[in-house]
Chain A
C-alpha cells in the first residue's frame, strides 16, 4: 500500500487528478498544504471509493477550514497521524 501526499489545490493544479488516476486500489491519500482544499465538498465528486482519504488538520486550520466544511470521506489527522500513516505504508509518493 502506498501513501500519496498531495500539496496543491485541485482548483489550481491537476496533481490530485493525476494522483487519483495512478493510485492502486487500497492506497491512501493525504492532503497537505494547499492540497487540503480538495477535502471541501466542491471536489467530492473527484474521489474514488476504493481509496482511503486523510487531510492534515494543521493545514486545514491555517486556511480557515473546519470539519463542517469538509466531505465525510476525509479523516483529519495531525502531524503525529501523518507519521503513523508513513509507518503503515510500504512507501510514500509525493505529488507536487
Chain B
C-alpha cells in the first residue's frame, strides 16, 4: 500500500494555469497504479473543474483557484475550490448541454462525473464552489474484490 501523501496548490484563475493544474495533479496521481488511460481521465476531470472556475467563478474580479489532492487508502481525492460567484442551480449545471456561457458545450460536469468514481459539488452563491472528486485505480479495485 502506498504511503499517504498530499499536495496543495493555489494560482490565479487564468486560462494559462489550467494546463499547469492538470499536469501537476496527474503527476501526483501517478504515485498510485493508475493506467495511462486513467491518468488521462484525471487530467480531463481536473481540466474541467479548473476551467469552470476560470470561466464562471470570477466574472467581475480576479480570484484564486485552490487545489488539494491527497492519496489515502489507495485512492486519490482531488478538491478544486474557488471563492467566486457560486453555482445557482447545481442539478441543472450537471446536465449535459447546460451552459450559461454561449459557445460552450456544457460537458464539464458530465466528464467529471463519468471519469471519476465520486463527484460532489458544494456551492454557495457569492461565496464559492468546492468540487470534490475521488478515483481508485481499476487494478486495485479488482485485487480488492478478489481478497474479499
**Bound pair (A, B):** no
Instruction: Please give the residue numbers on chain B whose beta carbons come within 8 Å of chain A beta carbons, in ascending order.
Output: none
